[in-house]
Amino acid sequence: MELSHLAETLIGSEIIKLAGEINEKIKQGEKIYNFTIGDFDPNLFPIPIEFENEIIQAYKNHYTNYPAADGILELRQAVSTFIKEREGLDYSSNEILISGGGRPLIYATYRTIVDRGEKVIYAVPSWNNNHYTHFVEGEHVTIETNPEDNFMPTAAALKPLLKDATLLALCSPLNPTGTTFGKQQLEEICDLVIAENKSRGANEKKLYILFDQIYWVLTFGETQHYNPVSLRPELKEYTIFIDGMSKAFSATGVRVGWAMGPEKIINKMKAILSHIGAWSPMPEQKAAAKYLLQTDAINNYITHFKLEVEERLNAIYNGFVSLKNKGYAVDCISPQAAIYLTIKFDLVGQQTADDKILHTQMDVNAYILNEAKIAVVPFSAFGASKNSPWYRLSVGTCKKEAIGEMLGQLETALSRLKVPSLAN
């Protein structure tokens, strides 16, 4: 190998590759309904004006020096207050680490806990756990989930895998599905982890939970967010939360994320990130410290934000239900959380108007993109089987007025398909 083993074997982002293909089509003048982006169009979903003003003021006050390695104290204190009031979690400033979004914190968690060859358990589809496990040369232990469980892992599936495992990576609300853990579903998993850790000797490494809840503010309808520590307080010693402002306040480019966990682990994560320089910028930290204490402003923003996201999700969901009721081979899971909708194109085996058979899911992907002009991300990009007919649809850049037009385009494309006769 010319370069390091890591560099030579690292798989590039499938989503970025897909984005490149879509952008090329757009450059060629094609109109594409792009639902691939796990981000927000700032023109549709701006950050809170109060937060924006605090950022501007922080720059005017010349807060442009290095922040503390673990984040400025006033921000860690503000996060502690925010998370206590909103979620009932009690973490001191010494148990909180600030970074430039959630990604460095996930990386630091893996680096702090997992040694080469140790088992990392994660469900698929899920976002980037395969890449982070590769970074630390861990052993991939995957569970392919199913729609009956809302694509969330179950205790029954996890139970035979926990022995000798070091890290259990969980995410709720889940990227890419927009689904969440039910209370009992998560409680059963928590009880397995507690029992597993009790079975290990005093000198054995324990099983830790990485709990990514970056979308937890964005729940809809009767959906409630649950976390391991609130359900089982004894898991506080073994749980590292990943959280932040990116998705709760449509502030993906502002880069303010935080981890919460046992002080010893947080300190080790801080040491790792201090060598990488992955801190959140000082002005944004100063601004976040002030904004997170503005209860009324936050309530007003989140209420409006959630309504706008939910309206888009419901409109597309209802459109898919209508298509399904008309007999088309599509499906959709009711919106629960985040900015994602789980949709299904079960079209393998059907025949196009020019008599081509859609032999594989890749053929289906190409048909939906080229004929319906709709770009969505297949679950195979998140580790699921290449034969999976399920997709992630993101509404972060979706204009409401384009939804009806998009659904009409989709129905036209679907109507051109047919089940080939035996003679063919």
Architecture of domain 49-294: 3-Layer(aba) Sandwich (3.40)
Predicted local confidence at residue 423, as pLDDT: 42
Quick one: pLDDT band at residue 261, thresholds 50, 70, 90?
Answer: very high
Q: Mean pLDDT across the chain, nearest whole number?
A: 95
Between β-strands 139-144 and 208-212, what pairing exists: parallel, antiparallel or unpaired? unpaired
Verify cis geometry, omega within 30 degrees of 0, for the bond prior to 125: yes
Distance between CA 28 and CA 393 in Å, rounded? 23
Which of 14, 12, 11 has the alpha carbon at shortest distance from 388? 14
Answer whether 225's CB lies under 8 Å from 180's CB: yes
- Cα separation, 28 vs 19, whole angstroms: 14
422 band by pLDDT with thresholds 50, 70 and 90: low
Count, in order, helices (H) and strands (E) of the chain: 14, 13
Separation of alpha carbons 82 and 264, rounded Å:
22
Q: Work out the percent of the chain whose per-residue pLDDT is above 70.
A: 99
Determine which helix (DSSP H) or strand (DSSP E) holds 241, and give its type and residue range.
Answer: strand 239-244
Provide the H-helix boundaries in 178-281.
Answer: 183-199, 228-231, 263-276
Q: Where in the chain is the domain with CATH 3.90.1150.10?
A: 5-45+299-415
Q: Mind giving me the DSSP string for 367-406?
A: HHHHHS-EE-EEGGGGTS-TT--EEEEE-TT--GGGHHHH
The DSSP symbol for 232 reads -
Tokens of 256: 């303010």
Q: Please say if the pLDDT value at position 390 is more than 80.
A: yes
What is the band of 419 on the pLDDT scale with cuts at 50, 70, 90? confident
**Cα–Cα distance for residue pair 179/177, rounded to 1 Å:** 5
Q: How sure is the predictor about 155, in pLDDT bands with cuts at 50, 70 and 90? A: very high
Question: 5-45+299-415 sits in which CATH class?
Answer: alpha beta
Phi then psi for residue 160, to 5 deg, are -75, -5
For residues 343 and 320, give the distance between their C-alpha atoms in angstroms, rounded to a whole number.
8
Q: Does residue 13 surpass a pLDDT of 90?
A: no
Q: The tokens of 206 are what?
A: 């324990």
pLDDT (mean) for 356-382: 94
CATH 3.40.640.10 boundaries in the chain: 49-294
